[in-house]
Amino acid sequence: MLVVPVLFHSKLSASGVNQTGVNKMLKTAGDIISEVQQHIECVDVATAKKIYDESPDAVIVDVRESHSADESKLTDSVNISRGLLEMQVHKECPEASTVILTHCGGGGRASLAAYSLKQLGYTEVYAITAPFDEIKKVFG
């Protein structure tokens, strides 16, 4: 279970809103991504390619929305948008030991997806934390 300490800003009102009207008790997507990246394996494109080439049954999961995948996708990837991942991944990856590489447009959603996959029980999960164009150049 992920436990994260909450730090309180000294200029918060009783409602948690600071002088600029921003609720400092809320986390940003970047905060959550940084937290989950502490619990998953993030890899660059070269490392991802090496893992993929050395694992004959590896699956590359594109967690972008389907319209993005329809515009451009990796040759060997399967598209399961992040919002449907937990419900559909078992169809493509029935074994907990399946090597899974997640990717998106920049690494954030791939990291969140990798964390969810680990929570589901997958043991060999890697998030490719690079821009899609870099991934596409290497993976085709």
Tell me: the pLDDT tens digits for 33-51? 999 999 999 999 999 999 9
Supply the pLDDT for residue 42: 98
| Residues in Cβ contact with 117 at an 8 Å cutoff, skipping those fewer than 6 apart | 85, 89, 100, 102, 125
Asked if 61 and 80 touch (Cβ cutoff 8 Å), the reply is: yes
CATH superfamily, domain at 29-139: Rhodanese-like domain (3.40.250.10)
The secondary element (H helix, E strand) that includes residue 128 is strand 124-128
Supply the pLDDT for residue 39: 97
Burial tier of 117 (Cβ tally within 10 Å: 0-12, 13-18, 19+): buried
CA 6 to chain centre: 23
pTM of the entire predicted model: 0.82
Instruction: Answer yes or no: is pLDDT of 7 > 80.
Output: no
The Cα 29–Cα 21 span in angstroms is 19
Asked if 56 and 105 touch (Cβ cutoff 8 Å), the reply is: no
Supply the pLDDT for residue 123: 98
